[in-house]
Structure 1
Amino acid sequence: MPSFYSKRDLYFQLFENQNCLELTQIPYFSDHSKETFTLVLDAAEQIAEKSLFPIFKEMDRQEPQLVNGQIKVHQGLKSIIQKFGEDGWINAIFSYEEGGQQLPWTLHMAAGFIFQAANYSASVFPFLTTGAANLIRTFGSSELKEKFTPAMYAGKWQGTMALTEPDAGSSLSDLTTTAYPTSTAGIFKIKGQKIYISAGDHDACENIIHLMLARIDGAPSGTKGISLFVVPKIRLDGTPNDVLTQGIYHKMGYKGAPIAHLMIGSTEGCEGYLVGEPNQGLKYMFQMMNEARLGVGMNAVAIASAAFQASLAYAKERPQGRKISEKDLNRPQVPIIEHADVKRMLLFQKSVTEGALALLVFCGILSDKISQMAYAEEKLELEALLDLLTPIAKSYPSEMGVLSTSMAVQVLGGAGYTTDFPVEQYFRESRIHPIHEGTTGIHGLDLLGRKIWMHEGLGWKKLQAHIEQTIIQAKQEEELNQITEDFESVVKRFGHAASGLLFKRNLDPEKFMADASLFLEATGILCIGWMWLRQAVSAQKALSQGASDQGFYFGKIETATYYMEYELVKIQGLISRFHSTSFPTVKMQSDWF
């Protein structure tokens, strides 16, 4: 069995706790079955074990370098990226007509989870290309699709998302990269610079294809004037396109994937090809960004899961001390997993990783259903729910993944702080996710200031309805009475506090939004509690039906109990904060620091 993820839990999440097989009832996915899904997951595991995991540490120790204007990456990446292309991973979710497999995104994410747990740095290259190619195929002309997507699907060309600039990160309305029209329709001269571009340059592919945001000269200011362009590093005729790698950022983790600083059009020679309509770039890019935000949540869960598996294995093998009740020092030491505090640390990791994975699988199934539905009331309801859950499903795993990997280090003690064990690398690599694809603060503002109000609060209402449905199901399982009561009580208190907070919206907008990140944190805790109650119901039903793997299911129920007793209760402090009339974060003056 792989050491970096729990195959048993992943299958539980997909096929027992949530039935991803219901997607096969949708015509687009109807050629698939549990057999094809398991074949996909087994193939992912094979690549992860044989190609990705063996160079996990090497890619961290031998980080990319900028040499003579080009970034050099680990020599094993070229064959890995080619393998992803040859085996159809890059375009697996696309249609048969495009050479794809019409694979549900849920299964693509699950396979990604395996890759990311094995080697996060190596996993990002092909999936960045998937996102970039998806923008071209969705919004680009037939000419753009024909010229660029085949080589991207094949893994010959790398795709990127080029948004950030030195003075425009979260505030994309301030970007200054400019597109100047030429005499040829659809072709523009691009000039500007981009920073922090993942896989923005490297020597493992023949070309780099940037999906780049820029403002057409004379376009409106703000986000309304942003357009989207395909900007290749090398033009189709083989000549350089005046996209220069100015520098490479050296990071605390996730070192194997280069992050580039690009200068575009330094000699007025960069051509960009307009994607879709002018001034619609940010709208188009949000398709990729929303998918990427759930992807970041899955990345965070995968790394935290790998750290959990490493610390669990260590705890089972490492002898230290004796049971508190054991007074005979001649008795052998016990593995540290026998100590209650070590179990607490392992339960914390298990509750975070498996709870967040459950939420992401739920979101993946929602996304797949939405993608194949005609516009109707039901589709609107699902879209509203997914829109609401996206900042939660990105931010909770990201923030808690840092704490979870930190706990893995703590389980190993001094050994965890050394490079002899992998958990210190997992800890460093986890830290990027609260920043990637929008900081936690941005997602807090998005949730409280925007998502919760969309369609007259439809997403919020649907979330409450789903939670209530789970509570009803849990009440039918007598063995779950206590955790169901605990969860329902918190749901009611949080609902009351949230209503009071939302009422403040029109009284003082600045104070209302001051604690947006805390509201996001609270909803995350609540949603993972909901996911654990769902898992407990699934586990109890399996036990009632005489399941043979009883230890697995008892572990689920005990972890759900831990979550209600140790994690859900943390929401009480946040509820108190929402009732408060004191706002030091608003009143504090910058010069008082």
Structure 2
Amino acid sequence: MAKEYVDIYTLKYLLYQVHGLDKLLETERYKDHDLASLDLFLDSVKEFSDRELYPYFKEMDQNPAQYQNGTVMVHKQVDVVMKKAGEMGIIAGPLDYDVGGLQIPFMIHTASTYIQEAANNHLPGYPGLTQGAAELIVHFGDDYLNKTYVPNMLAGKWGGTMCLTEPQAGSSLSDITTKAIPTQEGHYNIAGQKIFISGGDHQYAENIVHLLLARIEGAPSGTKGISLFVVPKNRVNKDGSLSKNDVHTVADFQKMGQRGYTTTHLGFGDSGDCRGWLVGEPHKGLKYMFLMMNSARISVGRGAAAISMAAYHASLQYAKERPQGRKLSSDGKKNPDEKPSLIIEHPDVRRMLLLQKAIAEGSLSLVLKAAKYYDLIQSTADKADKGKYRLLLEMIIPIVKAYPTEAGAIAVSNGLQVLGGYGYCNDFILQQYFRDIRIFSIYEGTTGIQSQDLLGRKIPLENGKALELLLTEILGTITLAMTFKDLHSQAKILGDKIKLTRKVLEFLTPFAKKGNYERYLADANLFMEFFAHVTIGWIWLEMAVRAQQSLEEKNQTYSKEFYESKIHSMKFYFKYELTKTLSLAESLMHDDTLTISDMRNIF
């Protein structure tokens, strides 16, 4: 298979020219790094992905993770990638020096993982979840937990997971029932079950460290009574040896996509001897977990953006090679004696390819924008600026999770359509991308949950301050775009969309003020789609502004054609996607309440 699964030039353009990574490196936190060394790091990750990830992508789908004799058997590359991720600093990358990290910008960590996910989205989750679990211990665990578990996790020797979901609770974490009973020895006895645990078990893991939510005996009901625990698959004895910890794999879920990435059902304490260690203070587990949720949701959006990009390149390559039909002549007829045209010459195929490009590149830039805000929160010394970037990140996080996953599925579906009947066949890779991306809108809170978070929590956050900060950022880009004649039209259009956003919110907000939250949130998913389109319009205009600047300054970093392609893609997005806000706004401001009326006679 060819290795054209990612556009490394666009990735670096976004990092260096659009999102200004160089400015970030001027801060105290990241001053030890420079663009040249980080560029080499990305190139090494690309070479690693070419060699160790991409060649096994189809193979891992055909030979999925499988439960056998009490454990899960996974592809041999899981072992290779975990160890290499440790050696290369991929797992430890964004963590502080004093805990063994490289203290690289989260933007670079995001970019490097994006490359891996575009190469093979079944593999990066294993080191990725390990990094997330280790980071929770670093931030909230005591010295014992940090010394006992973190070094082996960062080295890729031990895996890590997040254990939240239970069979009877699903997304409703307030209903979890896993118990934690304190003992005089300092640990807790854990009893319960967790489902949908990604990377939960496999034959190459000497140990897996589960970060688990449970309810201490006698704790308050609801989310206020949830605590966080380290529950290892194998306990670490005083001499460093390992012994079993009564954590059992009940089953591995067989899935329609991401088949090489194991998803397990785990049982804790079936024999009454599962030990867990409290992380931080009692009853603050959900708070700790959600402090890390922003990076987790960025990760999900990143994964979907990566699949969208890989699928785009696969369908683009096919369109450039496959002859089919003939172009219409000036009289509207086809000449059967002419040589068949490549399908990329047909306008409708070009439309589908441009849609893929607009969604894939727009999603990537949005994800990097969120990573940039994350970095600025970490590195900015000024308290007011830190607060500003925190609110901006909170504002866009639901969109970062929802847009790349929902629009990404549409993009990949269009890519499959480019191939026609072959797109539906296992001989071609588009059908696998289509199956793989479908899970991403479900991971880390479904689109419905993200939509309610956006409209219910983020729009009114701090009396609307977060929203106003974001709109100010968008207006800044519009103002800059107005300085370029070729961007006047799109700048004005986006300005009108800001006015439309305010109009929609003026219609919806009174319902919330009157306490009618069901009506206020009934069409939250439509508002997500509406506001995501506006946000991606901003993202694309920002890319086009930088491209136009480069053209006028005769910047030679990339070719004239490269910069022009960004402007063309922006115009495509504004014509074909941003216009959808009009119908969405009409639905949002419609008087009919068709989903919250008495439904007994409907279903």
| Superposition CA RMSD, Å | 1.2
SS of residue in 1 equivalent to 2:365: helix
1:282 corresponds to which of 283, 286, 290: 286
1:339 paired residue number: 346
How many residue pairs match? The answer is 592
Aligned counterparts of 2:149 and 2:602: Cα–Cα separation in 1: 54
1:386 paired residue number: 393
- Note the 1:124-203 alignment, pairs <5 A: 124-185=125-186, 187-203=187-203
Aligned counterparts of 1:292 and 1:537: Cα–Cα separation in 2: 30
Contact between 1:161 and 1:212, CA under 8 Å: does it hold in 2? Answer: yes
How far apart are residue 374 of structure 1 and its match? 4.6
Contact between 2:99 and 2:138, CA under 8 Å: does it hold in 1? Answer: no
More displaced 10-residue stretch of structure 1: 233-242 or 479-488:
479-488
Deviations 1:191-228 (A, max 9, x none): 00000000011112211110000000000000000000
2:204 paired residue number: 204
SS of residue in 2 equivalent to 1:586: coil
Aligned counterparts of 1:332 and 1:481: Cα–Cα separation in 2: 41
Contact between 1:385 and 1:458, CA under 8 Å: does it hold in 2? Answer: no
Deviations 1:337-373 (A, max 9, x none): 1111011001111111111111111111110010123
Deviations 1:319-349 (A, max 9, x none): 1112111643222111111111011001111
Note the residue ranges of structure 2 that are not aligned, 5 or more in a row: none
Contact between 1:190 and 1:271, CA under 8 Å: does it hold in 2? Answer: yes
Contact between 1:228 and 1:275, CA under 8 Å: does it hold in 2? Answer: yes
Taking structure 2 as the reference length, the TM-score comes to 0.96
Aligned counterparts of 1:173 and 1:255: Cα–Cα separation in 2: 30
1:522 paired residue number: 530
2:296 corresponds to which of 288, 292, 297: 292
Aligned counterparts of 1:55 and 1:327: Cα–Cα separation in 2: 43
2:572 paired residue number: 562
SS of residue in 1 equivalent to 2:292: helix
Aligned counterparts of 1:493 and 1:33: Cα–Cα separation in 2: 42
Aligned counterparts of 1:77 and 1:177: Cα–Cα separation in 2: 29
- Note the 1:268-279 alignment, pairs <5 A: 268-279=272-283
How far apart are residue 457 of structure 1 and its match? 1.2
How far apart are residue 96 of structure 1 and its match? 2.0
How far apart are residue 588 of structure 1 and its match? 4.7
More displaced 10-residue stretch of structure 1: 576-585 or 123-132:
576-585
How far apart are residue 499 of structure 1 and its match? 2.2
2:497 corresponds to which of 469, 490, 498: 490
How far apart are residue 456 of structure 1 and its match? 1.6
How far apart are residue 170 of structure 1 and its match? 1.5
Aligned counterparts of 1:227 and 1:294: Cα–Cα separation in 2: 24
Aligned counterparts of 1:302 and 1:247: Cα–Cα separation in 2: 29
Counterpart residue type for residue 475 of structure 1: M
Aligned counterparts of 2:589 and 2:211: Cα–Cα separation in 1: 44
1:419 corresponds to which of 419, 426, 437: 426
Aligned counterparts of 2:473 and 2:491: Cα–Cα separation in 1: 15
Aligned counterparts of 2:510 and 2:6: Cα–Cα separation in 1: 44
Aligned counterparts of 1:591 and 1:209: Cα–Cα separation in 2: 50
SS of residue in 2 equivalent to 1:450: helix
How far apart are residue 375 of structure 1 and its match? 6.8
- Note the 1:296-311 alignment, pairs <5 A: 296-311=300-315
2:104 paired residue number: 103
1:363 paired residue number: 370
Counterpart residue type for residue 538 of structure 1: R
Aligned counterparts of 2:161 and 2:382: Cα–Cα separation in 1: 31
1:320 paired residue number: 324
Moved over 4 A (4+): none
2:464 paired residue number: 457
Aligned counterparts of 1:499 and 1:11: Cα–Cα separation in 2: 40
2:588 corresponds to which of 555, 564, 578: 578
Aligned counterparts of 2:464 and 2:13: Cα–Cα separation in 1: 32
More displaced 10-residue stretch of structure 1: 1-10 or 43-52:
1-10
Contact between 2:27 and 2:380, CA under 8 Å: does it hold in 1? Answer: no
1:77 paired residue number: 78
Deviations 1:528-550 (A, max 9, x none): 00011111111111111224511
Aligned counterparts of 1:452 and 1:541: Cα–Cα separation in 2: 33
How far apart are residue 33 of structure 1 and its match? 1.0
How far apart are residue 497 of structure 1 and its match? 1.6
Contact between 1:155 and 1:205, CA under 8 Å: does it hold in 2? Answer: no
Aligned counterparts of 1:489 and 1:293: Cα–Cα separation in 2: 30
Contact between 2:230 and 2:278, CA under 8 Å: does it hold in 1? Answer: yes
Contact between 1:82 and 1:154, CA under 8 Å: does it hold in 2? Answer: yes
Matched, 1:58 2:59: yes
Deviations 1:225-245 (A, max 9, x none): 000000001111322111111
User: Structure 1 residues 266 and 592, CA, compared in 2 at 3 Å: closer, same or farther?
Assistant: same
User: Kindly, what percent of the aligned residue pairs are identical?
Assistant: 43
Contact between 1:2 and 1:49, CA under 8 Å: does it hold in 2? Answer: yes
Contact between 1:440 and 1:517, CA under 8 Å: does it hold in 2? Answer: yes
1:37 paired residue number: 38
SS of residue in 2 equivalent to 1:160: strand
SS of residue in 2 equivalent to 1:235: strand
- Note the 1:409-558 alignment, pairs <5 A: 409-507=416-514, 508-548=516-556, 549-558=559-568
Deviations 1:273-304 (A, max 9, x none): 00000000000011222211011000000001
More displaced 10-residue stretch of structure 1: 79-88 or 318-327:
318-327
Aligned counterparts of 1:294 and 1:503: Cα–Cα separation in 2: 32
How far apart are residue 100 of structure 1 and its match? 1.6
Counterpart residue type for residue 572 of structure 1: L
Aligned counterparts of 2:205 and 2:245: Cα–Cα separation in 1: 16
More displaced 10-residue stretch of structure 1: 172-181 or 11-20:
11-20
How far apart are residue 590 of structure 1 and its match? 4.7
Contact between 2:3 and 2:54, CA under 8 Å: does it hold in 1? Answer: no
Aligned counterparts of 1:553 and 1:290: Cα–Cα separation in 2: 32
Contact between 1:198 and 1:258, CA under 8 Å: does it hold in 2? Answer: yes
Deviations 1:400-449 (A, max 9, x none): 11101101100011111111111110000000011000000011111111
How far apart are residue 591 of structure 1 and its match? 5.3
Counterpart residue type for residue 126 of structure 2: F
SS of residue in 2 equivalent to 1:30: coil
